[in-house]
Amino acid sequence: MNNRIKNQLRIIGGEWKRRVLPFADVDGLRPTPDRVRETLFNWLMWDIQNAHVLDLCAGSGALGFEALSRGARQVIMVEPNPKQAKVLKDNIQLLKAENCQLKLQTAQQTLLSLNENEQFDVVFLDPPYSLNLWEELAEKVDQYLKNDAFIYVEADRPLHQLTLPSTWQLQKQTRAGVVHAGLFKKQTV
């Protein structure tokens, strides 16, 4: 039996542009499509530099590694699957990404364990579609968002069908096949 990892993603821009990284063969793991990722980081071009980023459902690590490549100050990746977490850890070491922290736990466990004063500039919220966690995670992560923080939401349905916090204002959106993606900004009154 061949245990080699055959799944790969390509970093699109920044310091590690064109770098290819493996990810594990795990049910439900689907990296954000290149076209959507490129659009997202064009939207965030001026806001990702020095950002404190939470990749709440890291999966392949595509969004977190792309953020680091483009100058994020720190990225926390959350991945509950031990097989994929091992691949993420190996990729972090390969890239010498000292400003990347990996949490081997669920998004819910991470949100319960964060310091109450922890605040993020950017959050990636793209849970496995089958788990239907958008509303639950959005409600729990909201307290850790700076005012004017950006939240990227990726879903398998139109974004207006999700019940997200009223302080999250949709800035931009795109679609690629079944992927509906949007960039929200937290704006408190």
Contact 114, 148 (CB under 8 A): no
Average pLDDT for 44-61 = 96
Q: What pLDDT does residue 31 have?
A: 86
Band (pLDDT 50/70/90 cuts) for residue 189 is: low
Q: What sign results for the dihedral spanned by CA atoms 183, 137, 81, 93?
A: positive
What is the reported pLDDT for 27?
Answer: 83
What pLDDT does residue 25 have? 87
Phi, psi angle pair for 115, to nearest 5°: -65, 135
pLDDT at position 107 over 60: yes
Model confidence, pTM: 0.94
- The answer to whether 183 and 154 have CB atoms below 8 angstroms apart is no
The answer to whether 134 and 162 have CB atoms below 8 angstroms apart is yes
- At residue 43, the pLDDT reads 97
Please spell the DSSP secondary structure of 53-101, one letter per residue.
EEETT-TT-HHHHHHHHTT-SEEEEE---HHHHHHHHHHHHHHT-TTEE
- What pLDDT, on the 0 to 100 scale, is given for residue 2? 44
- 79, 56 in Cβ contact below 8 A? no
Q: What is the mean pLDDT of residues 104-119?
A: 96
Task: Read off the pLDDT of residues 54-78 as tens digits, 9 standing for 90 and up.
Answer: 999 999 999 999 999 999 999 999 9
Q: Which residues pair with 150 in a beta bridge?
A: 122, 185
Query: Average model confidence (pLDDT) for the chain?
Result: 94
pLDDT at 28 over 90: no
The pair of structure tokens assigned to 45 is: 């071009």
pLDDT at 44 over 50: yes
- Calculate mean pLDDT across residues 172-187: 96
Angle subtended at Cα 25 by Cα 20 and Cα 27, rounded to the nearest 5 degrees:
130
Contact predicate 78/152, CB 8 Å: no
Chain segment 122-168, per-residue pLDDT in tens: 999 999 999 999 999 999 999 999 999 999 999 999 999 999 999 99
User: Cα(149)–Cα(74) distance, rounded to whole angstroms?
Assistant: 15
* In the predicted structure, residue 104 carries a pLDDT above the cut 50: yes
Total number of residues shown for the chain: 189
User: What is the average per-residue pLDDT within 163-175?
Assistant: 96
